[in-house]
Amino acid sequence: MKKAILIDDEPNSLDILEYEINQVNKNIEVIAKCSDARKAVQLIEEKQPDILFLDIEMPWFSGFEILDQLSKINFQIIFVTAYDQYAIRAFKYYAFDYLLKPISKKSLIETLDRISERPEKFAELELRNILKLLKKGALEDDKIAVPTLEGFEFYSLENIIRCQADSNYTKIFVTGGKTILVSKTLKNIEERISSSHFFRIHQSHLINLKHIVSYSKADGGDVKMSDNYSVPISRLKRNEFLEKMNLDFS
């Protein structure tokens, strides 16, 4: 019997997943559920599960941040999320699988059947998962999904000029003069964008280097963006920025 812990900020999702697991696989026992990401690390280290079902987008800590805080990861990770753009990053955490909400019964059965197989088969399974995750993440470098009241809007990364922190929200400025306010921190947005063309130039600003119009070294330095907004350069980021842009003022 394998022990499982479920972590999701939506209690209803936890109850549904526990019910579904109990219905489709009798070899897995749900020993704990947690809807508060702040308590997840202690729970995992105390209970020592064999399997962790983990949501990604949660208040306080993301699923990735929870894993980063653990002293060791000696269990199988199954990410359960509504977002498919994290597939490549999930692979980096050696995820056993990546299930998209709402989870189909067929997908859950297949995943639980595979995870119940003999350990010597894991290498073959991991290779299979790598290919699947890479396929799911194929558009990760091209677009970002922005949550709205109605669902999601998708924006090409090349059309995003800059992102600016606004407390626990972020303003995303795109070409055409449109501004989008999303209920995600700038750190969350930065983690979603994997393109090398984006640079955290200041604690409150993430910019698209392709949209820089000019650079001024006066008063600590700032860059003028294609929307005519001047973004200050953090003192700690100045040298990294100059190196990234191949600028030499020596």
**pLDDT value at residue 74:** 84
**pLDDT value at residue 194:** 65
Q: If we measure between CA atoms, which residue out of 178, 107, 184 comes closest to residue 145?
A: 184
**pLDDT value at residue 45:** 94
User: Model-level pTM?
Assistant: 0.50
What span, in angstroms and rounded, lies between the C-alpha atoms of 202 and 137?
A: 28
Report which residue type is found at 88.
I
State both tokens at 229: 């907004």
Which structural domains are found in the chain, ordered by start?
A: 2-136 (3.40.50.2300), 143-244 (2.40.50.1020)
**pLDDT value at residue 225:** 96
Q: If we measure between CA atoms, which residue out of 43, 104, 88, 94 comes closest to residue 70?
A: 43
Pair 13, 126: CB distance under 8 Å: no
Q: What is the mean pLDDT of each run of 10 residues along the chain (250 residues)?
A: 94 94 92 95 94 92 88 86 68 72 88 69 45 44 64 80 90 92 84 81 95 90 95 92 78
Q: Is 247 exposed, middle or buried (0-12, 13-18, 19+ CB in 10 A)?
A: exposed
What span, in angstroms and rounded, lies between the C-alpha atoms of 36 and 219?
A: 44
- Long-range pairs of 233-237 with CB within 8 A, sequence gap ≥ 24: 233/201, 233/202, 234/201, 234/202, 234/203, 237/199, 237/200, 237/201, 237/202
